[in-house]
Amino acid sequence: MSKKAKIITHNILVLSAVSLFTDIASEMLYPIMPIYLKTIGFSIVLIGVLEGFAEATAGLSKGYFGNLSDKTGTRLPFIQIGYLLSAISKPMMALFTYPLWIFFARTIDRLGKGIRTGARDALLSDEATPATKGRVFGFHRSMDTLGAVIGPSLALIYLAYHPDDYKTLFYIAFLPGLISIGFTFLIKENRVRQRTSLQQSKTGWLDFLNYWETSPPLYRKLSTALLIFTLFNISDVFLLLKIKEAGLGDTSAIGAYIFYNLIYAISSYPLGSLADRIGIKKILVSGLILFAIVYVGMAYANSNSVFLVLFAIYGVYAAATEGIAKAWITNICHPDDTATAIGTFTAFQSIATLLASSFAGLIWFYAGASTTFLLSGIIALVVAIYISRFNN
């Protein structure tokens, strides 16, 4: 059966399963990570430094390893090593509690993400055609996000029977991580690339930055717009903080996070399919408008029912932007530059995300929560209008 006839191929299914189990492992620990770190003696400042350092590592490594994947003409080794590092980092976090060891383990996890991201998305792109990118990236995102529903749910169930036993969860999270590694051995790297002398040359840590100058103009325009949006797309932690400020408890906050991811997972493939039919740009712009609605709504929301509606819309926004943006980027760039294009964009995105939380924290402190949400909503609307004017 041809690639065109069979949209969700063997490799797409396997990669989606890998992401599903990896996300179950990661998201099982997401709600309890700050609590666990505090129980082993980490201050709020040290937690911030840890996460900042880990994200910076992930950001730079995404660009480097994406570029290296294109130059070597391979995808699979980067995917396997990346998921392996993320899996083994989970029990490492519980094995010892020395600050330097925790920094090392957390960095290993984010380095794994950096190593695999560009190569994985490039392999997904290789399995699709320009007319099926929305469905392919939408399906993968749906499976990935399903892990963000299952993981926290399992953590909540475990903690209901074993309160405060956070360390054991890190060992339990190793199991789905092992399953994800097993699935990587089922991936078949079909595409053969011609290795030129340029591709065989040494790759510097920041060589991926050169791609920005040689990339298609539309890639630079789209990436710039999305990076500006990212600078004002504050962490989901602030949304949960808003809920808590309104009087909801920890269980309600985690429940809202699970609900958001469930809507996200359910919506990703249908919106990817719709993007293939009516155009990726229309879906992406619509997603940014939904984001603006949610954040303006968050500025004034104060009841459970309103929060529920806003988190549902927020899930649809995520489904209309995350995978869709990558699908568009892979359609813009040359097939042999796909990992570099994705790696370069996601590297800048990681840095912008790091800055976004700092900006949000300052605005929240000096001007209040409402101003923080309103500003983010306005910027999203401006970016949506700008992207809607693109010719492609």
CATH code, domain with 289? 1.20.1250.20
- Residue 96 has a pLDDT of 87
Please report the pLDDT score of residue 392 as a whole number.
65
- 103 within a domain of the structure (yes/no): yes
pLDDT at position 3 is 44
Provide the pLDDT for residue 193: 53
DSSP letter (8 states) at residue 373: H
Parent domain of 257 = 10-185+207-388
Nearest residue to 333 (alpha-carbon basis) of 79, 136, 60, 118: 118
Any domain includes 2? no
Q: Which of 71, 60, 153, 68 lies closest to 110, judged by CA?
A: 60
Residue 3 lies in a domain: no
CA–CA dist 24, 91 (Å, integer) = 15
Total domains in the chain come to 1
Helix, strand or coil for residue 379?
helix
pLDDT of residue 42: 82
pLDDT of residue 192: 46
Phi, psi (deg, nearest 5) at residue 368 = 100, 165
**Is the Cβ–Cβ distance between 50 and 42 less than 8 Å?**
yes
Would you say residue 193 lies in a domain? no
In this predicted model, what pLDDT tens digit does every residue of 98-145 receive, in sequence order? 888 998 999 999 999 999 999 999 999 999 999 999 999 999 999 999
Question: Which residues of the chain, if any, have pLDDT below 50?
Answer: 1-4, 192, 194-199
Of the candidates 108, 122, 129, the residue with the CA atom closest to the CA atom of residue 3:
129
Write down the pLDDT at residue 191.
57
- Rounded to 10°, the helix 369-388/280-300 angle is 160
* pLDDT confidence of residue 207: 81
Q: Rounded to whole angstroms, what are the CA distances from 97 to 85, 130, 163, 176?
A: 19, 48, 20, 23
Identify whether 95 is part of a domain: yes
**Using CA atoms, how far apart are residues 291 and 285, in angstroms rounded to an integer?**
10
Q: Is residue 192 part of a domain?
A: no
CA 131 vs CA 127, 134, 137, 160, 273: distances in Å: 12, 8, 12, 46, 10
Q: Give which of 307, 314, 308 is closest to 292, Cα–Cα.
A: 314
Does this model's pTM top 0.85? My answer is: yes
**Does residue 5 lie in a domain region?**
no
The answer to whether position 201 is within a domain reads no
**Strand, coil or helix: what is 284?**
helix
